Amino acid sequence: MRKTLTAAALGLALLVPFAPAAHAGDGDGEIERTGSCSGRADWKLDVKRDDGALEVEWEVDSNKVGQVWRVRIYDNGDRVAATRRTTLAPSGSFDVERRITNRAGDDRIVARARHLATGQVCRGVITFG
């Protein structure tokens, strides 16, 4: 019984670092999540209130300059951004910022980026209420 509990606790401890991290903001209703992409890149998604709207910032950092990514951002399933971005010096990252309507109820923001050359995918989700 004790070995089973120890193994379960160890398994849980190994899984926790791979879950996207969530950070509460400064009290103005800001939420930030970070995580890893399917390859070596990392992502950050940030949503906060801004004069009755929502400010959404989606950042991907691959540490490689010159990569072209296809980017999509959705709010409750409706596309609010569709663009391409190229990672820039010095950090090898890009960001996309959009100011969107703050709908009644919760907003489920989904941001996705796909590296066009390799197919690597980054995906972040925030439910903002």
Q: Is 44 left (phi over 0), alpha (psi -120 to 50) or beta?
A: beta
State the chain's mean pLDDT as an integer. Answer: 85
What domains appear along the chain, each with residue ranges and CATH number? 20-128 (2.60.40.10)
Q: What is the pLDDT of residues 41-60, one digit of tens each?
A: 999 999 999 999 999 999 99
pTM of the model: 0.79
Residue 106 token pair: 């919760």
- How much is the average pLDDT of 93-121? 96
Q: What is the DSSP string of 26-60?
A: SSSS-EEEEEE-SSS-EEEEEEEEETTEEEEEEEE
- How much is the average pLDDT of 83-93? 97
- pLDDT confidence tier of residue 28, bands split at 50, 70 and 90: low
pLDDT of residue 13: 41
